[in-house]
Structure 1
Amino acid sequence: MGIRMKKKQLILMFSSIILGTLVLSGCGKSSNNKEKSKETLEVTSKGFPIVKEETTFSMMGPNVGVAEWKDMPFFQDYAEKTGINWTFTTPPNADFSTKLNLALASGDLPDVIFAASSNNLTASMEMEYGGQGTLIPLESLIDEYMPNLSKLMDENENIRKSLTTPDGHIYSLPAIQTRSTSIWPRWPMWYNGEWLEALNVKERPKTTDEFYDLLVRMRDEDPNGNGKKDEIPLVDVQLDNSRPWLMAAFGLTELGIENMDGKAVYTPITENYKAFLEYMHKLYTEGLLDPETYSQAQEQVKAKGQNDRLGVFQDYYSYFTVGTSEADGLKHPMFAPLTSDYSEEPVVPIASGMQRSTLSITSKAESPEAIARWADYFYSEEGAFYMNFGPENSFWKFETNDEGKQVRVYTDEVNLENTEDTRGTITPAYGIAVPTIDTDWPEDYQIRTDKNQEIDTTFNDFMTSETETKIAPYGKIPFPLVYMTDEENEVIKEVKTDLSTYLEQMEAKFITGVKPLSEWYEYVETTKSMGLDKYVEVYQSALDCYNNS
């Protein structure tokens, strides 16, 4: 399941708050919203129980269909620890958005909206129902009753900024991902290490020119040793996985709106992007980029990899594509960022490490303080493990191994062929985003199939090391997680679809040569005619508010 995060990487992961649902303007703080604090319950200051007299709240959340929440050991055991019980309204995930909207519109509210996600409790809904007082502000509750989350916010101001709406309030709690893989914008690219060895490559490319030269060697020097010219130096599907890594060599971290020193820039009409297209067209026409890039599926890529035909490829784990063992995955080094005349310093985009709308408290809750304390435990390592895997003796248990050490092992009830299906009956943290941190578990937290099982973290160690050295130091946030008003979202909706469709078509045509790059000027003018100015203006307004918050 991973290894203990190093402190510097943990902080970096918290910094990687980007992309995702975009939202905002009207940057002033509102004085109309006051935080609700009825304090009808006596709430303890720390530890368990949370309340001195047992109480019950109501919760609404999406059910993924594995088990009823009332039957889950997580909720049952945590109620005993905390003194807080729940009644549940859990419509199927597919119907949750409709049911939530009805509840908010009618005023027939639960105390807590749980695991809604920004798709169901959107940023504009947060602002609307927060402004009305239906959702209560959480920032003072966080400061006073949530020391674990407060600590994370103190370590990185972007967490608080990304949760704070234009009226100055926070209306939902986040899910924060801190896994070593969380900063990847897409699957990483991997070099075929056996080909590098066959070609006697001692140092991997650092520039786009050196990368081109290596691809030529892969094409021409028979690195798979079968006597055929069947090597595919660079493979992809629709360019979706390699684009973030290769476009970054030209100084761009987002195909769309990017934050460049406080200015919102639409990158597909920049000279940097034109240079990227010229480079990719060169790779395509010289047979260095797979000619089936725009026609194949991932299954075909894997088939080529298992036939030892790929030099540079993308996958979550390298050995998934080449069809070898996990141990053999150590042979394939991770792609490191390149530089070019357009970007003298290496840079890579960093993916989002946070989701909003995992827990909101409504005006019906009579003790928001107790609910805040209830949720804060999950922002600690111990509490996050509890949220993800439930209490002892449900999904896991302690056993003493032959060395006399207590270790965690799966209980007898767990289906070892599909542990996730069993886990989904234990905790709601299955297929939905919940208020917690999702981290690489240290060895003491690893769950074993047998008490004497060796925990082999070799490949995870390798993957973390490669990420820390080749991605993390060069990461850039393309655009922060911001809020937008309904009016601004309407502008985005009005322009984005046509803009994205045209961009997708033209990129493929320029790279494959269907359209010559001599038509670049016409492409730029057509793009601008699609309402680009007001599209960029909306993002600029959102960025200004974020920076001034």
Structure 2
Amino acid sequence: MKSRNKVLLGVGVALFSTVLVACSTGGGGSKTSGTDKSGSAAESGVKLNADGQFPIIAEGEELTLSIMAPGMGLAEWEDMPTLQDYMETTGIKTTYVTPPNADFQTKLNLAFASDDLTDIIYAAGSSVLTSAMEIDYGSQGILVALEDYITPELMPNFSKLADEDPNLLKSITTPDGHIYSLPFVPRNGTSIWYQQPMWYNGEWLDNLDVKELPKTTEELYDLLVRFRDEDPNGNGQKDEIPLTDVELNGTRLWLMGAFGIKVKGIQEDDGKVSYTPISENYKGFLEYMNRLYKDGLLDKEVYSQSNDQKQAKGQKNQLGLFNDYYSFFTTGRTEKEAINDPLFQPLTSEFSPEAVIAGNPRLTRAAFSITHTNPSVEASLRWVDYFYSEEGARYLEQGPEGVLWENQKTKDGEEVRVYTDKVDLDDTEAFRGTITPAYGLTTPNLVVDQPQIRKSVDEAPDTTFIDWVIAETQEKMEPVAEVPFPLLYLTKEENDKVSANATDLLTYTTEMEAKFITGVTSFDEWDKYVKTIESMGVEEYVATYQAAYDRWASN
């Protein structure tokens, strides 16, 4: 199992492993354009082998592609064995411009401003290569439109994913009908997580002889009372904290779900878009949380403590219900002990007879874009398509044989992957980050649960914990998870409209949420609160998202 730092750095090799593609020539200077400024591909003259075959480039042909991507600092990309091996496999030479991850946004913006672009922009992610930038630079022909190339012949693996998920192509198509970037596509056992989960303290449940987890808000209230009053940590002191969090950022989504709310903000239900912080359901959620706070069931320091302080309480066995990536990050217990800490069971209430929680769209945009300098769009897309297969994803994550791993046979004759003697078995991720770009980045590839590499040939990895986490996810989350609002693009005009309101709305609703829950503001002020939000232009705000949703739904 990975350490906490490994999980959080790359959001885990099991969750967010990724691929990196060819970047910039030499110093990143632009070269002879392979496309015109309308964004349509020009003939490169480079002959390719038949679709789906390696090498991609026909014998006697030469092609160099430059790639710009964020550097994670563990190794230079030209020294990475995976990229070196893939050059031999594909016949395509790749060069790289990899400024430090912290500087990448600035460097990318400068490259666009000066038209000093590489052929491919890799692993930027939508927070850096924003939707507005895609639309802007795509309309100018600086980013190449890719939709005509996404065919079963040229991109069989990505096309297969698009066939399996009708929302995939819709979610990467801009309002002008074009696709300017390819996504990161997680499909592993926990990819449905919208954020890190909530966990019960299993030791407390055992001490109180709790056989079934709460399924309603009232049942949860009753259990939290028992946590408060019945000394479940067994130390004879009244130091138990039934429910804790840091500014409700971890528990808000989970508990709002009991009131039919998937997210605090814009939400879509059966085609209708609403702003949840002014709904009666949200008021019911606030009243419930206020009740927990008044009755000493919600940590009084919920709005003042840091995450480290929260975890310190967990390590003193003072917490009954809390959020974290895994429960042992808070409790300090072992993975084996953490299997006794059950995942939170989504709840129902008088506001929502059916349980619901926010589900991840399982897609991140802006992982791979092609610029107008690219000499062969077809070869570039063939290059990246391999990583949208399970085989290609594993290759990207683990590299070629003989570096991170080697094949060995068990005593039963089974062929398995075993770490090579080059790898520090106490820190395998640090070595992996030096051989492949699929480390901590939003890369263009499929992610599925892969067999783990063994430390020794006849010692299978202990996957008990992660298998249990996936089983808990499948049982409790997947049946009730719904994407709050689809991943879609706003037009420039729509983006201008909502951006004018978004910050003010978020600031005000966040401030008032804390005041309602802690009792600083009475619920007698609810109508005034709603009218204040209405005066901030929320009606137009919702209408803008409704128009964007309707366009997305009809695509």
How high is the TM-score relative to the length of structure 1? Answer: 0.90
2:214 to 198, 202, 205: 205
Give the secondary-structure state (helix, strand or coil) at the position aligned to 1:357. strand
Provide, for residues 104-149 of structure 1, a one-character-per-residue CA deviation record: whole Å limited to 9, x for no partner.
3333332212112212222122112222222222122121311111
1:394 and 2:403 matched? yes
Range moving further from structure 2, 515-524 or 108-117: 108-117
Number of the residue aligned with 1:494: 500
Number of the residue aligned with 1:38: 43
Q: 1:196-345 alignment to 2 at 5 Å?
A: 196-345=205-354
2:526 to 508, 512, 520: 520
Give the secondary-structure state (helix, strand or coil) at the position aligned to 1:154. helix
Shift of 1:65: 2.3
Number of the residue aligned with 1:156: 165
Give the secondary-structure state (helix, strand or coil) at the position aligned to 2:400. coil
1:371 to 363, 380, 399: 380
Provide, for residues 435-454 of structure 1, a one-character-per-residue CA deviation record: whole Å limited to 9, x for no partner.
1112221x3xx112222322
Q: 1:134-153 alignment to 2 at 5 Å?
A: 134-143=142-151, 144-153=153-162
> In structure 2, how many angstroms separate the alpha carbons of the residues matched to 1:181 and 1:389?
20
> In structure 1, how many angstroms separate the alpha carbons of the residues matched to 2:79 and 2:337?
43
| Structure 1 residues 269 and 34: CA distance shift in structure 2, 3 A | same
Provide, for residues 145-192 of structure 1, a one-character-per-residue CA deviation record: whole Å limited to 9, x for no partner.
111111111001111110111111111111111222221222211122
The answer (yes or no) to whether the contact 2:39–2:142 under 8 Å persists in 1 is no
> In structure 1, how many angstroms separate the alpha carbons of the residues matched to 2:480 and 2:171?
22
Shift of 1:523: 0.9
Count of matched residue positions in the alignment of Structure 1 and Structure 2: 519
Q: Which amino acid aligns with 1:341?
A: E
The answer (yes or no) to whether the contact 2:453–2:461 under 8 Å persists in 1 is no
Shift of 1:403: 3.8
Range moving further from structure 2, 397-406 or 327-336: 397-406
Number of the residue aligned with 1:483: 489
Q: Which amino acid aligns with 1:57?
A: L
Shift of 1:39: 5.2
Shift of 1:36: 1.4
Number of the residue aligned with 2:63: 55
Range moving further from structure 2, 397-406 or 263-272: 397-406
Number of the residue aligned with 2:124: 116
Number of the residue aligned with 1:103: 111
> In structure 1, how many angstroms separate the alpha carbons of the residues matched to 2:397 and 2:189?
17
Provide, for residues 233-261 of structure 1, a one-character-per-residue CA deviation record: whole Å limited to 9, x for no partner.
11111111111110000000010111122
CA RMSD of aligned residues (A): 2.0
Number of the residue aligned with 1:17: none
Range moving further from structure 2, 47-56 or 518-527: 47-56
Shift of 1:305: 1.8
Number of the residue aligned with 1:132: 140
Q: Which amino acid aligns with 2:292?
A: L
The answer (yes or no) to whether the contact 2:39–2:138 under 8 Å persists in 1 is no
Give the secondary-structure state (helix, strand or coil) at the position aligned to 2:338. helix
Number of the residue aligned with 2:76: 68
Give the secondary-structure state (helix, strand or coil) at the position aligned to 2:507. helix
> In structure 2, how many angstroms separate the alpha carbons of the residues matched to 1:236 and 1:97?
32
Provide, for residues 411-446 of structure 1, a one-character-per-residue CA deviation record: whole Å limited to 9, x for no partner.
2222333333322221112222111112221x3xx1
Q: Which amino acid aligns with 2:488?
A: V
Structure 1: which 5+ runs fail to align? 3-12, 14-31
> In structure 1, how many angstroms separate the alpha carbons of the residues matched to 2:524 and 2:112?
54
The answer (yes or no) to whether the contact 1:330–1:462 under 8 Å persists in 2 is yes
1:547 and 2:553 matched? yes
How high is the TM-score relative to the length of structure 2? Answer: 0.89
1:86 and 2:91 matched? no
> In structure 2, how many angstroms separate the alpha carbons of the residues matched to 1:193 and 1:260?
35
Structure 2: which 5+ runs fail to align? 3-14, 16-36
| Structure 1 residues 34 and 69: CA distance shift in structure 2, 3 A | closer
